[in-house]
Chains A and B, each alone.
Chain A
């Protein structure tokens, strides 16, 4: 399996505090990976670096088969390259309908002039309907997304990610604040997505991670502490120490 994203030797510090310290991470195409770690381990900063929100002090972030560096690209350029991100809190455009939200995310030419002339055709509406079906929001297409419940907003955001058709999905705590049934649906969505693309899930909840059934990377103090199957890492002495404390 070829490598899709390679992060090597990345460090970043905020006011002297090392949020990420010599971090190295790889993920292949069509791979699911869970990233766990205690609070302040650098999970969110790690995603910020990949998506271009934070520029690292040192290190390399290499992307795709052409091995381009993501560090010099803007956020929007990186997103166009095929990296989608879901934030911890659901951030959908509450003032717009579910259909508008999905249409906005649909993979199309992003330049202002193209968007100005763009009028959705039959196939675009079909695509939106199909996505809504997948995230269980078919009956809510014309509702304002601000009216949705928390769990539905989370799904809508996952739906928007899928609409972008990214090659790498970065998902930050997708199951936070969800009911058990909603969690199950979320797991299905992510597992399904990981069949055709790479998915990185940041999660606190071990039970959720177990259900994803994938390789796990444990972060601690900004670097990788352990990597492997969930059983492997949870039996690692250092991981136990970090998680359970002394």
Chain B
């Protein structure tokens, strides 16, 4: 069964990883199919709101990829990744809100007898945006909100910097395992609690809203905007998948999987485990933030509840159910579970009448999800992605348990004769 052939060096990337090509192919087919069926440019069988749901789902798949990178490949169970997703959303949301309010305020002031000064416009925007939390001035955090390029930069830089600092502190002190998970939960909880405050500068629990209305595009119907965002999400997921596959395919992937399996041993091989963890943690935080920046304009609203600890736990559940340590597993898990969740919690699933009790899925869905998480962990640790192994029959023999002594067959006859 041992393949004696040497690995042929320099085979093309796609040939070594056919799953990348298959994934991109499927994603392209899906995108075209949705475009044809949607209202924007197609025959209009699929509603605009469902296109938005699908677009959001693609963003969730992207953040699941990021989670799989840190957890499935590097063994860092981060339970705070949705914080980065949320920060990405807030960063883009600030510009969307500012720019749109600016247009509205400018239009309303244009009717005034005297042309408005820049200060008047700025005050008008601030009153419009922050009136809801009883403020009328821009907090310093909004300094760059007027500029799309700067806010786009913030989408990448702010979560990247937070991940870098947080990771540096945590990994340098060799916090691992469940302690690190708790620390990441604390991080996302602290951020959520801070944002809940009215004086946080981001409108407290109201969050940022009206994000689905792109500034200056009031004439463009939502049907068109939704399909464009769907394309952008598909593109981001496709590119994200290729980049992740590239990162984990080579020696870097080998090192981070080795860190997952035996951190101390990797250290004695001369690799700085902390530097690798920091790299992958920061990279995946940035990926999560990009996903968030695409998600929230489709969702239309972001508030601090979105980055509550539970959101990040859901993310881990998706990846576990999909199958960690394989990129397509994360995508399958996120797509399947989040769509199913939308269906169950949207009130579309029919109630089950047991005679003495009626199971209402809106309430019972969480329990079903929890049970399936427990079952997957116990009985199918490879998750749904493991089904693909069964199909293509690439199961590797499990020979654990032979660590402590020679195999029964290792004692050859000539040695036994001595």
Contacts and interface: CB of A to CB of B under 8 A. Distances in A.
A103 B257 CA distance: 14
B2 A118 contact: no
Q: Which of A93, A138, A143, A147 has the most CB of B within 10 A?
A: A93
Contacts of A100: 254
A87 B269 CA distance: 12
Interface stretch (A63-71, A176-184, A235-243): A176-184
B118 interface: no
A76 B254 contact: no
Contacts of B179: none
A151 interface: yes
Interface string B345-374: 000000000000000000000000000000
A138 B415 CA distance: 22
A195 interface: no
Interface of B is mostly: loop
A95 B261 CA distance: 8
Contact of B262 (A93, A150, A164): A93
A144 interface: yes
Contacts of B406: 149-151, 177-179, 182
B415 A80 contact: no
Q: Which of B1, B3, B254, B405 has the most CB of A within 10 A?
A: B254
B403 A150 contact: yes
A79 interface: yes
Interface stretch (B47-55, B76-84, B271-279): B271-279
Q: Which of A116, A143, A178 has the most CB of B within 10 A?
A: A116
B280 to A, nearest CB: 8
- How large, as a class, is the contact surface on chain B? 35 or more
Given A140-B2, A143-B3, A120 B405 contact: no
Q: Which of B270, B271, B410 has the most CB of A within 10 A?
A: B270
Interface residues of A, number: 56
A212 interface: no
B397 interface: yes
A94 to B, nearest CB: 7
Nearest to B325: A95
A96 interface: yes
A94 B261 contact: yes
A110 B270 contact: yes
Contact of B272 (A76, A95, A142, A164): A76
A103 B265 contact: no
A80 B252 contact: no
Contact of B9 (A77, A80, A120, A177): A120
B164 to A, nearest CB: 13
Interface string A110-130: 111001101111100100010
A232 interface: no
B411 interface: yes
A226 interface: no
B404 interface: yes
A79 B270 contact: yes
A160 interface: yes
Contact of B3 (A77, A90, A129, A142): A142
Given A74-B272, A105-B269, A139 B254 contact: no
A210 interface: no
Given A91-B262, A181-B415, A110 B271 contact: yes
Given A90-B403, A143-B3, A177-B404, A104 B267 contact: no
A126 to B, nearest CB: 9
B402 A149 contact: yes
A51 to B, nearest CB: 6
A147 B399 contact: yes
A74 B264 CA distance: 12
A89 interface: yes
Interface of B: 1-7, 9, 247, 250-252, 254-255, 257-258, 261-262, 264-265, 267-273, 275-276, 279, 396-397, 399-400, 402-407, 409-412, 414-415, 418
Top 8 nearest A-B pairs by Cβ distance? A79-B270, A142-B3, A75-B267, A149-B407, A80-B270, A76-B272, A112-B279, A116-B252
19 contacts: A76-B271, A79-B270, A84-B268, A93-B257, A93-B265, A95-B261, A116-B252, A118-B252, A120-B251, A125-B7, A129-B6, A139-B2, A141-B7, A142-B7, A146-B399, A147-B396, A179-B410, A180-B418, A181-B412
Given A51-B268, A85-B268, A143-B2, 15 more contacts: A53-B264, A76-B270, A87-B265, A104-B251, A104-B255, A112-B276, A112-B279, A119-B251, A142-B2, A146-B400, A149-B406, A178-B406, A179-B406, A179-B410, A182-B410
